[in-house]
A = this chain, B = another copy of it.
Amino acid sequence: MTNIRKVAELAGVSVATVSRTLKSPDIVSPTTRDKVLQAVNEAGYKPNLMAVQFRSRRTHNLVVLVPTIANTFFARVISGIQEEAQHRGYGVLLCNTLGREATEAMYASLVTTRQADGVIQLRACNPFPADAFAPGTPLPMVNACEVLDDAPCPTIRLDNREAARAVTEHLIGLGHRRIGMIKGPRRSPLTRDRLAGYHDALQAAGIALDESLLCPGDFTPQSGYEAAGTLVTRDDPPTAIFCESDEMAIGAISRIKQAGLSVPGDISVAGFDDIAFASYSDPPLTTIAQPAEAFGRQAVAMLIDVLEERARDIQHAVLPHELVIRGSTATPAA
């Protein structure tokens, strides 16, 4: 393997001069610079970045903890992360944690063992043990999408409560009074906030909450399919269903049709996320569009600000959402 010493020998200079030529060319004389660069070429020398990183105590790698990469929404967030990281000269270590805390902790230890500089956590959970860092040190992490209420680090989120209120209000505006909801996982702040927004809208319209219209789900099409099954087979099915993710909405529509009902003729369905398939579903999905790629880009930007100590204090960003009305919601049948 060609290393800096070989190049130095070849160029007839010291290793320091080679290093300087490559790192700060302006402080070596043009003559030696040329000699060195020619030797670098001749030897096909590429610095061993492992050594550079080891010496500089910086890996320029970021760990991304994603609950499930199979979710199209996260796939978009990751695209944004990737793009911004590449642009800033950082690499991305992607970790599919399936929401398991042990797995998250394992990957987070990439930071404590110096294999990565920081973590982007897409789930509401702090994967670091309490004593992982010296007190006073800012946590090398940002928390995006699903965020902790009292996150000890920068966060980037949507106003989920407001978004859910907007969707529900849209359904109420169409004339719906019995509105079901297919929720996300019980523990998730997303579920809690969206549920609160749903409540807000019902309350504002003077509609009493019917707990039995709330079904649990886990964001997958399968769970939407199953939850819709329980709603549809009731004696008094709702006339509209708000799903906390497009994937669940697509599963729900499939189940509703299977029961011989039409969307939106018999039941309106609204989703959340605006994934690519939302436009191609039949009918196209009314949903909340999230700036998924922006989540990723911003997360990287904020994390690097922390890592490179440009951040004065802990920032919290709220990104904009938009209600996108398509064909899956309509006035209820009389």
Interface residues of A (CB under 8 A from B): 44, 46-51, 53-54, 57, 59, 61, 68-70, 72, 75-76, 78-79, 82-83, 86, 91-96, 103, 106, 109-110, 112-115, 131, 220-222, 225, 247, 250-251, 253-254, 257, 276-277, 279-282, 284
Contact = CB atoms under 8 A, between A and B. Distances in A.
A307 to B, nearest CB: 15
A48 B57 CA distance: 10
A96 B79 contact: yes
A75 B82 contact: no
A132 to B, nearest CB: 9
A250 to B, nearest CB: 5
Contacts of A79: 68-70, 96
Nearest to A94: B94
Contact of A49 (B68, B93, B113): B113
A115 B76 contact: no
Oligomer: number of copies: 2
B96 A78 contact: yes
Nearest to A258: B282
Contact of A76 (B70, B113, B251): B70
26 contacts: A46-B109, A46-B112, A49-B114, A50-B50, A50-B57, A50-B59, A50-B113, A50-B114, A53-B115, A68-B79, A69-B69, A69-B82, A70-B76, A75-B75, A78-B96, A79-B96, A82-B95, A82-B96, A83-B96, A86-B103, A91-B93, A221-B276, A222-B276, A253-B282, A254-B284, A277-B277
Given A69-B78, A251-B280, A254-B280, 13 more contacts: A47-B113, A48-B114, A50-B53, A51-B114, A54-B54, A69-B69, A70-B276, A72-B75, A78-B94, A91-B115, A94-B94, A221-B280, A254-B279
A150 B331 CA distance: 59
Contacts of A280: 221, 225, 250-251, 253-254
A164 B76 CA distance: 30
A91 B69 contact: no
A209 B220 CA distance: 41
Which 3 pairs from chain A and chain B are nearest by CB? Answer: A94-B94, A254-B280, A49-B113
A115 B254 CA distance: 46
A95 B64 CA distance: 12
A285 to B, nearest CB: 12
A277 B222 CA distance: 9
A112 B114 CA distance: 21
A44 B133 CA distance: 11
B257 A44 contact: no
A91 B95 CA distance: 8
A101 to B, nearest CB: 15
B114 A91 contact: no
B75 A70 contact: yes
A93 B95 contact: no
Contacts of A222: 276
B69 A277 contact: no
A44 B110 CA distance: 16
A230 B212 CA distance: 47
